[in-house]
Chain A
Amino acid sequence: MLIALFGAVESGVIYAIMALGVYLSFRVLDFPDLTVDGSFVTGAGISAILIVNGTSPVIATLIGALAGFIAGCLTGLLHTAGKINALLAGILMMIALYSINLRFMGQPTVSLLNESTLISQIQSAWASTGIDTGLNAVLQALGADRVPTTWGIFIVMTVLTVVIKFLLDYFLKTEIGLAIRATGDNQKMIRSLSANTNFLIIVGIGLSNALVALSGALVGQLGGFANLNMGIGMIVIGLASVIIGEALFGKKTITRVTLAVILGAIVYRIVVTLALRVDFLESSDLKLITAVLVIAALVTPKVLQARREKKRRLAKRAALVEQKEREASA
């Protein structure tokens, strides 16, 4: 159980990078970008095939992210220059990427099991530090009977995700970042303030997909393979993370939302892990669980809000009746 949860948090931190990308397109630019399903695989596939062919894992991962950036820019171009509806532009790019990814990968699955990947490098570098023994001793003292094999991946990936979060926070407050946010908020206004909204959309969707592809590359290396179908439903998982995060942890400021999105991605993984341990649910039910989660995260806050409002009105009404009675008796 503990190991399963640890695994959930570990992969949650990596998926959080993808969720930040989805946040950038879906929330900041108000652009429902379905490229994600394809660009996630692009990141995983290209980095995997490069690693298999002997490229250093760091470079391979960065090239994977770059490929995602290019794919996103193309979606942005379809939407701005081609004037294609945002949803359709994303779907077209997603479909095109399916073939493109297969071209790059050469086969539907690229195995990384015997390769030196970023993840295995972190693992071995970490093992030499000996921090694991200390952390696991603490866990065992707390009564855990089984302990994680390595803390390295979790800690290094958390640092990476947090660094990306802070970079994103900073970026969204720069002059260019403000213009990107305004593009999602009021395009007419920011155009009248001399911003090239088409360029900003292209760059914004590009960056979003770069994060998605980076996440894909890391997920592929963590799992030990890249598969042509590993991106199916990724956009929904990204949305789930954003929506769950916002519902649970608030969305008042940029810094707050980006943190909420990361936590949302982790919560999503934990919930899925727990759900799959329920006897009658099978791993093929994963997509259904995701859909139910998103629906719950969307509906619950509204229901709670409506209930609070009703309670408030009833209280006011009771107070009014009381006041009237007092006035009548006076």
Chain B
Amino acid sequence: MLKIEDVSMTFNENTPDEKKALQRINLELEKGEFVTVIGSNGAGKSTLMNVISGSLIPDVGDVYINDQNVVHLPEYKRSKMIGRVFQDPMAGTAPSMTIEENLAMAYARDKKRKLVPGVNKKRKDHFREYLETLNLGLEDRLNAKVGFLSGGERQALSLLMATFTEPYILLLDEHTAALDPSRAELITKITKDVVAKFGLTTMMVTHNMQQALDLGDRLFMMDKGQIIFDIKGEEKQNLTIKNLLDEFQRIRGKQIESDRAVLG
């Protein structure tokens, strides 16, 4: 479903600030696979996400979605196939527009936008059904402006908007990091449910090791622009935080220092 071949990306090349964000990344995700990505700050997780979504064009390498090379497809065209949820709960929704209008925009994602009303009776019923699955009571507030919702509610709505058109790929970029623990837990649960419900091929970046272990059926550990550890199936299910830290030390010959607190 998603294949990345020999993708490299360097920022500020040939300057003292040169940063090799991605170094010959190769990976392949099967349809329905749910991979969590961990790694310290600057490991290249976000760059990888941005290369897949099209916000960044890699220096070299190719990105295939559903066997189509999309590396030169502009972001807005690629996003027909990709659902995304950002870290900032404010980033995924339009605050001055209503809940139903936001959903209508997400609904039009994989279609050609036309001069027909974005919200109609039939769609409204659809939206209400989808919102009910969140259990946040948003289905009764279709005409409320999204700006009045709390961060957790907005993130839940973003998640719904990113998934209900069943995109080929779902990208989650630390989408629970800006929420309080109970809200983060709620969003994590919703994530689990929707990914399972639609069988979405998902890549989730997280700083929370426990979350990376609990969710998904595959795990990448990134460091210095490389995927240094890739584990799936039963092995992944039996993984513990200690295993992960030991593994990092074995591969890199040093401990995870600065981010250890965050990662735990």
Which 10 A-B residue pairings sit nearest by Cβ, starting from the closest? Answer: A175-B113, A185-B94, A194-B79, A178-B118, A182-B94, A194-B80, A186-B94, A193-B109, A175-B118, A192-B84
A121 to B57, CA, bound (A): 58
Across the interface, B105 reaches (CB within 8 A) one of A170, A171, A182, A188, namely A182
Interface residues of A in 238-258 (CB under 8 A from B): none
B60 proximal to A (CB < 8 A): no
A175 to B123, CA, bound (A): 12
Instruction: Give A176's nearest chain B residue, CB to CB.
Output: B113
What residues of B have a CB within 8 angstroms of the CB of A173 in the complex? 117-119
Question: Looking at chain B, what size class is its interface with the partner chain?
Answer: 20 to 34
Instruction: Write the residues of chain B forming the contact surface with A, with a CB cutoff of 8 angstroms.
Output: 53, 74-77, 79-80, 82, 84, 86, 90-97, 101, 104-106, 108-110, 113-119, 161-162
Across the interface, B92 reaches (CB within 8 A) one of A170, A177, A181, A189, namely A189
What residues of A have a CB within 8 angstroms of the CB of B104 in the complex? 175, 178
**What is the CB-to-nearest-CB distance from A202 to chain B, in angstroms, rounded to a whole number?**
14
A49 to B78, CA, bound (A): 47
A186 to B86, CA, bound (A): 13
A99 proximal to B (CB < 8 A): no
Across the interface, A195 reaches (CB within 8 A) one of B53, B110, B113, B117, namely B113
Across the interface, A191 reaches (CB within 8 A) one of B79, B116, B161, namely B79
A196 to B74, CA, bound (A): 9
Binding site secondary structure of chain B: loop
Interface residues of A in 166-180 (CB under 8 A from B): 170-171, 173-179
Q: What 4 new A-B contacts, CB under 8 Å, besides A181-B97, A196-B77?
A: A173-B119, A174-B114, A176-B114, A193-B109
Q: List 24 A-B contacts (CB under 8 A).
A: A173-B118, A173-B119, A175-B114, A175-B116, A179-B113, A181-B94, A181-B97, A182-B105, A185-B94, A188-B86, A189-B91, A189-B92, A191-B79, A192-B75, A192-B162, A193-B79, A193-B106, A193-B108, A193-B161, A194-B76, A194-B109, A195-B76, A196-B74, A196-B76
A197 proximal to B (CB < 8 A): yes
Cβ–Cβ contact A197 & B76, under 8 A: yes
What residues of A have a CB within 8 angstroms of the CB of B92 in the complex? 189, 192
